Structure 1
Amino acid sequence: MREEPTGRIPLGILGLLLGLTVYAVVIARYVPEIVSGWHTLAQTAVYLFFGLIWLLPLRRFLSWMETGKWR
């Protein structure tokens, strides 16, 4: 546990919000054009995939916010 507050946490939260906003806008803008003619279950699978894929880098990002190291 850290002894002193750092600027990584507020910067990390702002970066996370900005990154997720950009990600959501890109997905909302381009994916519907591609999958609009697909079957409903296929569209569901695509949106589930994109809805969960952003979680992959989250562990390392939160670790960096807390410790300052990417490992």
Structure 2
Amino acid sequence: MRNEPTWRIPVGLLGLLFALAVYGLVIARYVPEVIGTWPTLLQTLVYVALGLAWLLALRRFLIWMETGRWG
């Protein structure tokens, strides 16, 4: 546990918010054109998968914010 604040936490938080905004805009812009004619249940599964996909990178990102290392 660290005793003093580090620059990685606010920078990481801003970077995370920016990346999620860009990811969300890209998904909202391009995915409906591709899957718009699919059945509703299949569309739901795709959006759930895309909504959870960003979590795959989140663990390593949070580790970097806390320790400064990626692994």
Which category of TM-score, normalised to the shorter sequence, fits these structures? Answer: over 0.9
State the TM-score, normalized to the length of structure 1: 0.97
State the TM-score, normalized to the length of structure 2: 0.97
Moved more, 15-24 or 2-11: 2-11
Pairs aligned (count): 71
**1:41 has 2:41 as partner:** yes
> Which structure has the highest helix share of the two?
2
Question: What 5-or-longer segments of structure 1 have no aligned partner?
Answer: none
Percent sequence identity is 66
What is the root-mean-square deviation in Å for CA atoms of aligned residues? 0.6
Larger RCO, structures 1/2 (Cα 8 Å, 6+ apart): 1
Structure 1 runs (4+) greater than 2 angstroms displaced: none
In structure 1, the residue matched to 2:50 is: 50
